[in-house]
Amino acid sequence: MLLFMITMPELILGTLLIFSLLALLLFGSLLVWDRTEASFFQALRLPHPMARVFYLLVGYILLINLALIQILKNHASETSDQSTLIFFFDYHSLNVLSFLTVLFLCFLIFAYYHPSSSHSSLNFELPLLLFFAYLGMVFLILNRDFFSWFLSLELQSFSFFALAGFRSRRSFLQSEASLRYFIFAGLASVLFLFGLSMVYAYYGTIDLYAILSLILFEEDFTFLGLGLVGIFLALLFKLGVAPFHIWLPEVYHGVSSLVTFFFFLMPKISLLYNLFIFLQLDIQVLLDRISFSSIFLSLAIGSFMAFNQTNFKKFFAYSSIFNNAFFLLPLINAKSSFSFFSLFFFLFSYQLSLFLVFFPFLFLRSSQDLRLINNLRDLLSLKKVNPVLSFIFTCSLFSLAGIPPFIGFFAKLFLFLGALDQGYLDLIFLFLVFSVLSTYYYIRLVKIIFFSFLLRNSWTKPLPLWPTLLTALMFTVLSFLSFLPLYSLVFSSLSI
């Protein structure tokens, strides 16, 4: 009878308290399982003092920016939207900007304590390059004309050129990756400028909302559609959607591990939001054909090419191409508010899982200060080195695969419900078939971790303090959001 007296908010708060205690236990377990004789605090290898100043400066700017975003959100909730001569604010864009800023702050914590930050006294340029890339993403979110989009993409791209060539012990691979990114990003810029010039020649304006108004009276989309297709293809190129994915696996493989994680994590947010805004234009019949083709190719190439990969970064690069198809699914009906919710809920679950997957890849170091995990077969040492971390890694893989009851399953379920509402039954069937196929290569990693022969000796350096705490909190959030729908279902059934 006591269950019937508990209200839903009390159940959620109680569950959250239990998971908070579990987070502290998880954090302690991660530290206890560091099988080294060194003191834990010897792992706190901080960057050079000059680099430390720049990291803290960027962090303070981001915190101030986050406070300003919250003030604007409170004002935007009272009025419909706000606009200036340069930027456009509405409630959705400010929510996306908040998500981008919080995610970038979490990444900065990882970058601050990453072992590469302590190798050189010249690493002060890394936080500056990261900050300029973040500024490009912010300007991209807050602008509503195509030329400002182009300038924001170029600011982001030039920062990525420098980050791709950021030095480490494999400088020749990074130089090749930087040059490859430069060539293909230049090709995407040419496509964008071509589309921009065609739209301006036709309408005499590059403002998105002016074009939205003028396009209602348009009957022939031949000339205008050619320009808008050029812009659309350029955005797909930047996102790495098949068949415009050629640059992505080699670039992600060649750059340093920290930059690879940044490329996985950050650019998708601004690009997907701008794709969502761009597809408000009433030319869905034209762009849907491209979207359907890109969805099928991304599913096929991402799933089949991941089967043959042995390198950690290349494997998750093809996994990213596969998941790009899920990002395109709600964009087919971009005018629905449910599509916006399902898109960014899936993006949130994907980014959360990526943090947990990349934590051992970034911070597990051998006694010779070399990265412990380079290839997929290196995962067999994870269980011996840190069993708790291997459990977290496995749960995040299940979430990426969409296996219930993890959050990735509910995120994909919302995407399928939105597509089902539009009658795309054949598209849902295609996604289900390829999702079953992709589950194989995620479970293959679990098999390597738990059912392969262990190494005889596998000694590692201790994990850094704050990234470990952040990982424990993120896994708690993933667990809480994964099991909360089940708690709600059980509670609603008991109250009937």
For 87-131, how does the pLDDT look when each residue is reduced to its tens digit (9 = 90+)?
677 778 888 888 998 899 889 888 888 876 555 444 677 888 888
Residue pair 257/119 in contact (Cβ under 8 Å)? The answer is: no
Q: Exposed (0-12), middle (13-18) or buried (19+): which is 216, by Cβ within 10 Å?
A: exposed
Residue 463 sits in which domain range?
2-495
Return d(Cα 198, Cα 215) in angstroms, integer: 14
Query: Running DSSP on this structure, what letter comes out for residue 207?
Result: B
Token duo for residue 301 = 């190439």
For residue 419, give Cα distances in angstroms to 147, 424, 432, 474: 32, 6, 12, 29
Return d(Cα 264, Cα 268) in angstroms, integer: 8
β-bridge pairing 81-83 and 88-90: antiparallel
pLDDT digits (tens, 9 = 90+) for 175-217: 888 888 989 999 999 999 999 998 888 888 888 888 877 777 7
Q: What is the pLDDT of residue 326?
A: 94
Q: What is the pLDDT of residue 118?
A: 55
User: Buried b vs exposed e over 365-389: b needs ≥16 C-beta within 10 Å?
Assistant: beeeeebbbeebebbbbbbbbbebb
- Amino acid, single-letter form, for residue 451: F
Q: Exposed (0-12), middle (13-18) or buried (19+): which is 220, by Cβ within 10 Å?
A: exposed
Residue carrying the six token digits 């109680």: 14
Return d(Cα 481, Cα 238) in angstroms, integer: 31
- Rounded to 5 degrees, φ, ψ at 375 are -115, 165
Q: For the chain, percent helix, then strand, then coil, each to nearest 5?
A: 80, 5, 20
Q: What is the pLDDT of residue 254?
A: 87
Residue carrying the six token digits 């809920």: 345
Residue pair 235/275 in contact (Cβ under 8 Å)? The answer is: yes
- Amino acid, single-letter form, for residue 468: T
Ranges of residues in the chain with a pLDDT under 50 are 1-6, 8, 11, 32, 34-46, 78-79, 120-122, 491, 493-496
Q: What is the pLDDT of residue 375?
A: 86
Please give the tally of structural domains in the chain.
1
Q: What is the pLDDT of residue 416?
A: 92
- Rounded to 5 degrees, φ, ψ at 88 are -125, 130
Three-state DSSP class for residue 256: coil
Rg (CA), the chain: 23
Would you tell me the crossing angle of helices 425-451 and 407-421 to the nearest 10 degrees?
Answer: 170
Q: What is the pLDDT of residue 297?
A: 93
